[in-house]
Amino acid sequence: MSLAANLANDADWARRRNSALRAIPLVTLLLFLGPVAAGLIGTALPAFGYLPALGGETLSWVPWRHLLAAPGLAESVRLSFVSGLATTVVALVIVILFCAGWHGTRGFARVQRLLSPLLSVPHVTVAFGLAFVLAPSGWILRLVSPWATGFERPPDIIIAQDPAGLTLIAGLAIKEIPFLFLMTLAALGQVDAARTRTMARTLGYGPIAAWLKTVFPQIYPQIRLPVFAVLAYAVSVVDVAIVLAPTTPPPLAVQLVRWFNDPELAMRFVASAGAILQLALVAAALIVWWLGERAVICLGKRWIRTGWRWRRDGWLRRAAAVALIGGFAIAFFSLLSMALWSVAGRWRFPEALPDTIGLATWIGNAERLTAAGWNTLSVGLAASVVALIFAVGCLENEARFGKRATNRALLLLYLPLLVPQVAFLFGAQIMLIVLNIDGSWVAVAWSHLVFVLPYVFLSLADPYRSWDDRYARTALCLGAGPWRVLRCVKLPMLLRPILVAVAVGFAVSVGLYLPTLFAGAGRFDTLTTDAVSLAASGNRRIIGAYALMQMLLPFLAFALAAAVPAWMFRHRRGLRVTH
């Protein structure tokens, strides 16, 4: 082959690769918002009576009439709405007050290190533990009975599954606090928080007032989308609600999943209408939140103008610390109790510890645990690696062609986190059946991709964008093509954030319940689907084993994400972790 032809060939290659790169954002959007859009349509049509496969040929209001006549609907709606809003308020207020009271102290950094591991544990794992720790026959009462309480038998009081949903709120809030905390930390890095606060402090403001009046208004816009995501999630959560929410009636989303699974197929119309109601409920919650924001802004401005210094805020600082660390302690205690149950023999109330310890549960369920573990591992890895490829593609596209993601694009990214899962998963399932891949590994991995991608992208975006471009320019000047720069310079230097992003995506995938259930057509067992189906049985030993596996897998992912770069860069001082 002549040199000219070779060069032309190379140029052709480069052009093709470039056009592939240009197409990546569009392909990403299609792959990831396509199921959401198709799913919403596939849910909306049956909601109005149209689903020819089940005999619904015309549009009608009949499903809505049946929905509104369903016993307990109003109570289900109220429960979802109130517990969702309460969860978000509680979690956000604790995080904000703690940051306000303790930002810049040594304890603050320590708490940051404590909370991060909790983030990677699936919601439902914490819920399992909490259900045991708080129950009247649970660990807390076991530790103090009968010597302090006099209880030989557990007292008959309602704690878990209380009609007001307080345990549900507590369980959700405990898990959302680390998330909002880390989001707030990221936002704090974007503004000059330390000096702003110091300035306010020198003017005589107490720590909380200084932070709330000067720093908070700057960072709230940046944590707003995560807050919305928390709100949408809490209003429509299913797996945690199965463990902690009341059942007479259950929250709306749980009721919907039941209806979708009803042997009476006509119930799918009602369930679809309910899914649209769930969507409206999330929208209503977001509107209420938005109104709340207006009110807080209005009152907050007036409060700032009063110039009140609020120096005696020690009690509130301590209260915030107690709430945050108490929540963390309960979560830790919950997870510990699950680990203990997985090796417990006889362990009756009021014994503080099991009579015997053994591996019977692990041995007896080794096969199931391994099978579910492999499924979880393979789907999680596939979804997060594919998500990584798309995320790098989009970010590289942005870096090379200079298009910066707008706020609107960010909203698109958050869309699967804001739309209630149950509202589009049924429709998406129909799409999978039409494609004839329902219940397959590919379908489950794809459904996970939809939820994994936003987290991978968000976690990689900042380090990727702030990578020093001068390295690339130097490499280009030395004669490397842009692809070679990416392969040999940029990606290796970004190995650490890349692996962390994969680990984040993997942790998200491990915890996904509803997408696995719908895309897997009930035939695809992961640790989470298996554990939730066992949750109702209350068999704490085997749930404990599952919970431990749910904790271990993400933990290993994060451990690898830390260990691999450390080992690979052991001879490169410039690439070591400095902080």
Partner 1 sequence: MRALGILAIMLTGMIAGGAPVALADTWEETVTKARGQTVFWNAWAGDERINAYIAWAGEQVKNRYGVGVRHVKLSDTAEAVSRVAAEKAAGRETGGSVDLIWINGENFAAMKRNDLLFGPWTENAPNYQFVDTIGKKTTTIDFTIPVDGLEAPWGMAQFVFMYDSKSLPTPPTSIKGLLNWAKQNEGRFTYPQPPNFIGTTFLKQALIELVEDSTILQNEVEANKFTAATKPLWDYLDVLHPVMWRSGKVFPQNGPAQHRLLDDGEVDIALSFQPSEASSLIARGALPDSVRTFVLDGGTVGNTSFLAIPFNAKARDGAMVLANFLMSSEAQARKQNPEFWGSGTVLAMDKLPITEQNRFANLKLGIATLSPKDLGVTLLEPHTSWVTALEAAWAERYAAGK
Residues 110-169 that bind partner 1 (CB under 8 A): 136-137, 152-154, 156, 158, 160-163
Please report, for residues 102, 423, 484, the alpha-carbon distance to residue 8 in angstroms, rounded to integers and kept in the order given: 62, 51, 18
Q: How far is the CB of 402 from partner 1 (least distance, A)?
A: 47
- Residues 93, 94, 98, CA angle at the centre, nearest 5°? 115
User: Is the Cβ of residue 313 or residue 525 nearer to partner 1 in the bound state?
Assistant: 525
Selected from 494, 540, 550, 553, the binder of partner 1 by CB under 8 A is 540
Q: Which residue has the tokens 């599952």?
A: 546
Judged by DSSP in three states, 357 sits in strand
User: Is the Cβ of residue 208 or residue 542 nearer to partner 1 in the bound state?
Assistant: 542
Region from 23-31, 190-198, 244-252, 398-406 binding partner 1, contact rule CB under 8 A:
244-252
Q: How far is the CB of 10 from partner 1 (least distance, A)?
A: 48
Residue 66 binds partner 1, judged by CB under 8 A: no
Round to whole Å and give the CA distance between 480 and 484.
6
User: Is the Cβ of residue 72 or residue 326 nearer to partner 1 in the bound state?
Assistant: 72
Both tokens of residue 375?
């499924």
Region from 168-176, 261-269, 374-382, 458-466 binding partner 1, contact rule CB under 8 A:
261-269
Q: How far is the CB of 368 from partner 1 (least distance, A)?
A: 7
CB atoms within 10 A of CB 69: 9
Residue 564 binds partner 1, judged by CB under 8 A: no
Residues forming a β-bridge with 357: 344
Peptide bond into 146 cis (omega under 30): yes
Selected from 310, 349, 362, 483, the binder of partner 1 by CB under 8 A is 349
Contact 390, 24 (CB under 8 A): yes
Q: How far is the CB of 126 from partner 1 (least distance, A)?
A: 19
User: Is the Cβ of residue 259 or residue 451 nearer to partner 1 in the bound state?
Assistant: 259
User: Is the Cβ of residue 76 or residue 397 nearer to partner 1 in the bound state?
Assistant: 76
The answer to whether the Cα torsion of 432, 435, 440, 441 is positive or negative is negative
Selected from 201, 224, 309, 368, the binder of partner 1 by CB under 8 A is 368
Region from 26-34, 291-299, 341-349, 495-503 binding partner 1, contact rule CB under 8 A:
341-349
Both tokens of residue 317?
């600082």
Total residues contacting partner 1 by CB under 8 A comes to: 53
Residue 359 binds partner 1, judged by CB under 8 A: no
Selected from 203, 329, 345, 471, the binder of partner 1 by CB under 8 A is 345
Residue 50 binds partner 1, judged by CB under 8 A: no
Max CA-CA distance within the chain?
Answer: 93
Q: Cβ contacts of residue 521 below 8 Å, gap of 6+? A: 429, 432, 438, 439, 443
Region from 212-220, 343-351, 383-391, 508-516 binding partner 1, contact rule CB under 8 A:
343-351
Q: Cβ contacts of residue 343 below 8 Å, gap of 6+? A: 354, 357, 358, 359, 361, 362, 544
Selected from 522, 559, 564, 568, the binder of partner 1 by CB under 8 A is 522
Residues 287-326 that bind partner 1 (CB under 8 A): none
Region from 200-208, 247-255, 321-329, 489-497 binding partner 1, contact rule CB under 8 A:
247-255
Contact 118, 330 (CB under 8 A): no
Peptide bond into 250 cis (omega under 30): no
Which positions from 459 to 498 touch partner 1 by CB under 8 A, shown as an x/- string? ----------------------------------------
User: Is the Cβ of residue 75 or residue 293 nearer to partner 1 in the bound state?
Assistant: 75
Closest CA to 66 of 257, 275, 281, 267: 267
Region from 35-43, 296-304, 325-333, 432-440 binding partner 1, contact rule CB under 8 A:
432-440
Q: What's the helix, strand, coil split of the chain in %, to 5? A: 75, 0, 25
Closest CA to 268 of 439, 62, 72: 62
Region from 5-13, 51-59, 115-123, 215-223 binding partner 1, contact rule CB under 8 A:
51-59
Contact 289, 88 (CB under 8 A): yes
Selected from 533, 556, 560, 562, the binder of partner 1 by CB under 8 A is 533
Exposed/middle/buried for 463, CB within 10 Å: 0-12, 13-18, 19+?
middle
Contact 343, 358 (CB under 8 A): yes
Q: How is residue 51 annotated by DSSP?
A: B
Selected from 525, 549, 557, 561, the binder of partner 1 by CB under 8 A is 525
Round to whole Å and give the CA distance between 198 and 177.
26
Selected from 2, 3, 58, 71, the binder of partner 1 by CB under 8 A is 71
Residue 348 binds partner 1, judged by CB under 8 A: yes
For helices 267-306 and 216-236, angle between their N-to-C axes, nearest 10 degrees: 160
Selected from 294, 346, 404, 573, the binder of partner 1 by CB under 8 A is 346
Exposed/middle/buried for 436, CB within 10 Å: 0-12, 13-18, 19+?
exposed
Q: How far is the CB of 495 from partner 1 (least distance, A)?
A: 39
Contact residues for partner 1, defined by CB under 8 A: 53-55, 71-72, 74-76, 79, 136-137, 152-154, 156, 158, 160-163, 246-249, 261-265, 345-346, 348-349, 364-365, 367-368, 433, 438-439, 521-523, 525, 530, 533-534, 536-540, 542
